[in-house]
Structure 1
């Protein structure tokens, strides 16, 4: 009797896998961050979705040439060499655990509503650190418990929020939205471009369709469909929720909130809805944190196995957990929580997500260059060159929208990391 072949996932399920990887903490906290600029950021959502589509198309094409793709090293090194592969792989890894801090900020911003404690800077810091180490402990149990926990959080976390997105239009006030169209004091064009970096945080994860191409049925056709379809779903959900919330609660109030969805629920249904939505949002964000900590541990292990990180990150326990590497990651996240502490939740969240975007752009730009240049054994087609140029154009706009201080910090960090690798890296 022949060995059974594992069933692969079809285009619909693959599409929702990609969409779910993007609909995370940004869904629950970005409305507060963007409210400081106003409803004009709806145009930023549209532009951000287009840029994500351009990058998604590049990754979908790379998946055709690298069907067993599991790390940036797999597509960067054949085209750009080992040094570029080191930068793309490690900057993506660093961005993943910095992003975990942003998720912890969002999760505790909602959780604090449910607890009998004061919402102060010190309390939020302690809560974020506690969530980090709680998810570290859960990750020590291995990938399977994390996957189950994340699946439960997705179902229980998004159902109440879906009710708001459906019923909320009955409470939408066009005048409230028009009044808050642009409260930044700068031109609409400037706001749209400046908002791209924080908005693109919501689309980090668009590459996961290419990363799981090996388990997708007929990947040549279905990976592009899943990637672009998942991005489209995420873009519609984000745009809809952002417009809806700014038409229910004045932008000045929304910008100060640590839990904007809960605030909107209170305006719609009354005080009883606030803890319900806060619990749902905290649960979904906590599940996202657990899942992305798993990604941080796994991507760190793969980077170590390729000689890009110290060997300690590559050690896996029998149950598959990267205990030693995750412990170092959790310690680094704890330090970062102290360094990025801000008077408001949305302020700290914005600092963190801008750091993530400037680092993850390195991996995205490497994907574009890999398509544009091809490999010694493969000349890129005209379509691949166009996809590569599109990806680089998207990366250029994201870099342009990043604050200079954050951009310089990212470049200095990447330069120091590369120098350390050249001087002390394992070959």
Structure 2
């Protein structure tokens, strides 16, 4: 029997960084230009908050004995309702994020082919990409994963290149002129872009999924997660600020393909077009993978009884086709409801809503660390350090919620409350399932939660569980 060769800490660190350097950065230079170079303050805040989150998630992954990623973490403190709402909001955030990825690809396609689409046309093009990438998944995950692993480099290579070679074209005068073009106070600028910068780090929790595949996970997983997050932060900060010193602020604000624009200025328009083409392919590859992943998230939750059984039905290839079609209908409605004359504004609306819904499981996971460490008999002094870091991560999460804006907070809050209403129906079904499963002498679900043992069913297969994400987080 062969023994699988485990990753070194440096290999896991690189994997963690690559998993975050996905399509989330593709429109970031344009969004940050709306604040100016002073938005670097937001980057510094987000980098600090993301490092705290990354460390806390690494500790959760090391201590938790429940399946289901963040849902399993939340269950220690909040029981099955916490597991459910974590799964629900996480799945919802992925659903929304995929629409934003599709809009990103449409923005680059417009510039690449020198066409100007109206707001309705942008909406229809966004929907078309969602439909194409959903139908392409009906044959199974094998090809999807391979495509995503290749196309993600269409984003990573240009971002790394502009972070290094781009300095030869950097103009301090251009950067200074775009430093604070809207005369914001420093604290206003610091908070203005927290949500959009967090968008680039979403998925950092998935870096803990490979704990079993690395040597000495107790020591190496936290090192890799922190190192990968820090590496991604450096690349994000450097690349967006180099671009701000190459392209005038006003030109950057109006661009729907900022990386294509900067490469056209650095080299030639043909090189700019090549970069735009690579980024379109990267976005489509990312979307292809994440359309499959979000359906798997809903399927796994349906398998546990948290979502309707219809989400668990699969075809001959093991693909939850009906679930994909239901989720596609919701995404189609989202794309139509968020139509805006300004593509960047539509992207902004969706990103803020995705961030708000994703922060719910983040906050629940941070809150559960005290309980998790208690039941794991972690020494008090070590637990105190972790709890302080979790407190910093939670404080940052609340700042990101505030930065997301009133509309995103309202819609995200309503969506979360609706989820709790649905839990009333879910709980009845779980009780019936437990009654069937436990017809032999056993405990009730409530008793199981009290003693800290897992429910005897498979939990959510999220990017933090044994189901690998096919590609970088959107």
TM-score if structure 1 supplies the norm length?
A: 0.94
The corresponding residue for 2:233 is 235
**Contact kept? 2:159, 2:239, Cα under 8 Å:** no
1:35 and 2:33 matched:
yes
Alignment partner of 2:424 out of 393, 409, 422? 422
**Contact kept? 2:7, 2:214, Cα under 8 Å:** yes
Describe how 1:293-332 pairs up with structure 2 within 5 A: 293-332=291-330
Question: For the residues of structure 2 that align with 1:310 and 1:107, how far apart are their CA atoms?
Answer: 32
Describe how 1:17-416 pairs up with structure 2 within 5 A: 17-66=15-64, 69-115=67-113, 117-374=115-372, 377-378=375-376, 381-416=383-418
**Contact kept? 1:54, 1:391, Cα under 8 Å:** yes
Question: For the residues of structure 2 that align with 1:184 and 1:86, how far apart are their CA atoms?
Answer: 43
Give the deviation of 1:199 after TM superposition. 1.0
Give the deviation of 1:116 after TM superposition. 6.5
Question: For the residues of structure 2 that align with 1:265 and 1:96, how far apart are their CA atoms?
Answer: 30
The corresponding residue for 2:438 is none
**Contact kept? 2:127, 2:332, Cα under 8 Å:** yes
Question: For the residues of structure 2 that align with 1:226 and 1:177, how far apart are their CA atoms?
Answer: 33
Partner SS state of residue 321, structure 1: coil
Question: For the residues of structure 2 that align with 1:116 and 1:394, how far apart are their CA atoms?
Answer: 40
Distance 1:34 1:146, change over 3 A: same
Greater Cα offset, 272-281 or 299-308? 299-308
Give the deviation of 1:161 after TM superposition. 4.5
Question: For the residues of structure 1 that align with 2:184 and 2:280, how far apart are their CA atoms?
Answer: 34
Give the deviation of 1:375 after TM superposition. 7.2
**Contact kept? 2:162, 2:242, Cα under 8 Å:** no
Give the deviation of 1:306 after TM superposition. 2.3
**Contact kept? 2:95, 2:294, Cα under 8 Å:** yes
Give the deviation of 1:410 after TM superposition. 1.1
Question: For the residues of structure 2 that align with 1:318 and 1:403, how far apart are their CA atoms?
Answer: 44
Greater Cα offset, 96-105 or 343-352? 343-352
Give the deviation of 1:333 after TM superposition. 1.1
Distance 1:399 1:74, change over 3 A: same
Distance 1:71 1:127, change over 3 A: same
Give the deviation of 1:20 after TM superposition. 2.2
**Contact kept? 1:182, 1:188, Cα under 8 Å:** no
Partner SS state of residue 145, structure 1: helix
Give the deviation of 1:402 after TM superposition. 2.1
Give the deviation of 1:307 after TM superposition. 2.0
Greater Cα offset, 235-244 or 368-377? 368-377
Question: For the residues of structure 2 that align with 1:391 and 1:69, how far apart are their CA atoms?
Answer: 23
Partner SS state of residue 391, structure 2: helix
* Runs of 4+ off more than 6 Å: none
Greater Cα offset, 111-120 or 299-308? 111-120
Partner SS state of residue 125, structure 1: helix
Question: For the residues of structure 2 that align with 1:377 and 1:42, how far apart are their CA atoms?
Answer: 40
Give the deviation of 1:29 after TM superposition. 0.3
Give the deviation of 1:67 after TM superposition. 6.1
Question: For the residues of structure 2 that align with 1:116 and 1:40, how far apart are their CA atoms?
Answer: 31
Question: For the residues of structure 1 that align with 2:161 and 2:388, how far apart are their CA atoms?
Answer: 41
Q: What is the root-mean-square deviation of aligned Cα atoms in Å?
A: 2.0
List runs of 5+ in structure 1 lacking aligned partners: none
Give the deviation of 1:424 after TM superposition. 5.1
**Contact kept? 2:145, 2:289, Cα under 8 Å:** yes
Give the deviation of 1:404 after TM superposition. 1.7
Question: For the residues of structure 2 that align with 1:312 and 1:9, how far apart are their CA atoms?
Answer: 38
Give the deviation of 1:370 after TM superposition. 0.8
Question: For the residues of structure 2 that align with 1:220 and 1:201, how far apart are their CA atoms?
Answer: 28
Distance 1:186 1:160, change over 3 A: closer
**Contact kept? 1:297, 1:325, Cα under 8 Å:** yes
Give the deviation of 1:44 after TM superposition. 0.8
